[in-house]
Structure 1
Amino acid sequence: MIGLLEQRENQLVVLPLEGVYYPRVGDLVIGLVEDVELYGWNVDIVSPYIAYLQGSSVLGRPVNSGEDLRRYLNVGDYVMAKVESFDRSSNPILTVKGKGLGRISKGTVVDVSPVRTPRLIGRNRSMVETLSSETGCEVVVGQNGRVWMNCSSKETEDLLVEMIYLIEREPYTKGLTEKVKSLIRDRLGVNVAGPEAKANP
């Protein structure tokens, strides 16, 4: 592993510069359906492991023999899911049981390096909340390095994608959250000085 050494409290932590996603139970992931099987789907989660989503998780009932699961999820569809089980002896099992989970039917998905997801989320979710509040877009960062966004305009979406790639390139820049906020406001023509400046011209 190549990375940067950082002192955190009383321990040294290596922040990787490159790497792949290793699933952990409970992780929120954004997967891409690669294959439809008799009782479920094989899903790419940007990992050395291909994940499996059981049909019963999507349907809420057992899959009937001969049922065409392509009616619910087909190859090329994105799905928001959680890692239900994984022990490295078999491929991870996904679930879509839960609020906000399931087939992604709107918005855009972009890929970033999985090792950048902590920076995209930020400490106490500071970065992802900045991206969402400043652009007005819905933003969800999957632990596997995929980001889903739903914006009201193509212009805002393009700006958000640009900021996401900026964060990916400069994850260890000091004051990155404030830099991103300032850039977004400048591009959208927002008065950075805030409402007080408007009240006192």
Structure 2
Amino acid sequence: MFASFIDKIGEAVVPGDVFTLDLPPPESNIKPEKLICGPGLRRDGENVSVCKCGILRHKPPNVFWIDSQQKRYVPVKGETVIGIVTNKSGDIFKVDVGGSEAASLSYLAFEGATKRNRPNVQVGDLVFGQFLIANKDMEPELVCIDSCGRANGMGVFGEGGLLFTVSLGLVRRLLSPQSDLVKEFSSLFPCELVVGMNGRVWVKAHSTQHTLILANLLQSAEHMTSKQRQQLFKRVADGTF
């Protein structure tokens, strides 16, 4: 029943779990027809089925998804990602975003770009962009501008830093507005941190040694409890790591 669906928020679910949407008001203030199913959930008429192992999450008022530790990324419209320019074909750049196929990026999809004023993008560059088109029937398309034509932090970046890959679950923790992990992480050494929804993280500290330490800490902290993480970070801050 839909009631058990609500009760499962924050708990583990597995593929094959099916929930019906027949719970009427006033028992629930969520209208079944307004329910939005995110990654890991599939809507089939009046039923919602689970197609991925993980933790059921809820964003008020009516968005549900499965939080899993997968590393394979599936492009989603509107998500910001870190890509690697792999090829240039005419006026289009091909960008590896970690999905099943490369995304396209037009040279006009940068702030201030025109036919005469082309952006300086080279094969091998890192770009931070947003998906304009992302569905199973079309090639994904990236842009490095927002709806107002501004870069808003997007574009070519990455000089002198380190790029590495983490699970999508850790990415969501890092991007959480109240992430304790980011606060503890940034308090160790001054650094620049860029996180893409495709599981790629770029970090740059004042020295190569600090950059490598931060990257290793971030990957190690994924499976630690809050207490274990705080103890590890304290050892690093005290120089006993």
Aligned residue for 1:124, secondary structure, equals coil
Counting only pairs closer than 5 Å after superposition, residues 66-145 of structure 1 correspond to structure 2 as: 72-97=120-145, 98-106=151-159, 107-122=161-176, 124-145=178-199
Aligned-residue offset at 1:40: 1.8
Unaligned ranges ≥5, structure 2? 1-50, 146-150
2:92 aligned with 1:40, yes or no?
yes
- Map 1:121-200; keep pairs closer than 5 Å: 121-122=175-176, 124-168=178-222, 170=223, 173-175=224-226, 178-189=227-238
Distance (whole Å) between structure 1 residues aligned to residue 236 and residue 80 of structure 2: 31
Q: Name stretches of at least 5 consecutive residues in structure 1 with no aligned partner.
A: 191-201
Question: What amino acid sits opposite 1:189 in the alignment?
Answer: D
Determine if contact 1:35/1:41 at 8 Å carries over to the other structure: yes
Instruction: Give the whole-Å Cα distance in 1 for the aligned partners of 2:142 and 2:58.
Output: 32
1:86 match: secondary structure? strand
Question: Mean alpha-carbon deviation: is it higher for 145-154 or for 178-187?
Answer: 178-187
Deviation at residue 161 of structure 1 after TM alignment: 0.9
Identity value in percent: 23
Cα distance in structure 1, aligned partners of 2:231 and 2:194: 21
Report the AA paired with residue 3 of structure 1. Answer: C
Whether contact under 8 Å (2:82, 2:196) holds in the other structure is yes
More helix by share: 1
Q: Which has the higher contact order (CA 8 A, sep 6+)?
A: 1
Deviations 1:109-142 (A, max 9, x none): 1122334311333462332233223322111211
Alpha-carbon displacement from aligned partner over 1:38-89 (angstroms, at most 9, x marks no partner):
112010011113111111113634446xx9x7x7112211111111222332
Which range moves more in the overlay, 138-147 or 89-98?
89-98
Distance 1:55 1:151, change over 3 A: same
Change (3 A) 1:3 1:119: farther
Tell me how far apart the structure 2 counterparts of residues 43 and 147 of structure 1 sit (CA, whole Å). 16
1:26-65 superposed matches below 5 A: 26-58=78-110, 60-63=112-115
Q: Name the TM-score, length of structure 2 as normaliser.
A: 0.64
Q: Is 1:43–1:53's contact at 8 Å kept on the other side of the alignment?
A: yes
Do the aligned partners of residues 129 and 23 (structure 1) sit closer, same or farther apart at CA in structure 2, a change above 3 Å counting?
A: farther
Contact 2:173–2:179 (8 Å) recurs in 1: no
- In 2, the alpha carbon distance for the partners of 1:12 and 1:89 equals 24
Counterpart in the other structure of 2:72: 20
Greater strand fraction, Structure 1 or Structure 2: 2
Contact 2:73 2:198 survives alignment (8 Å):
yes
TM norm structure 1: 0.75
C-alpha distance 6-82 of structure 1, shift in aligned 2 (>3 A):
closer
- Larger CA Rg, structure 1 vs 2: 2
Q: 2:206 is matched by which residue type in structure 1?
A: S
Partner of 1:194: none
Partner AA of 2:108 in structure 1: S
RMSD: 3.0
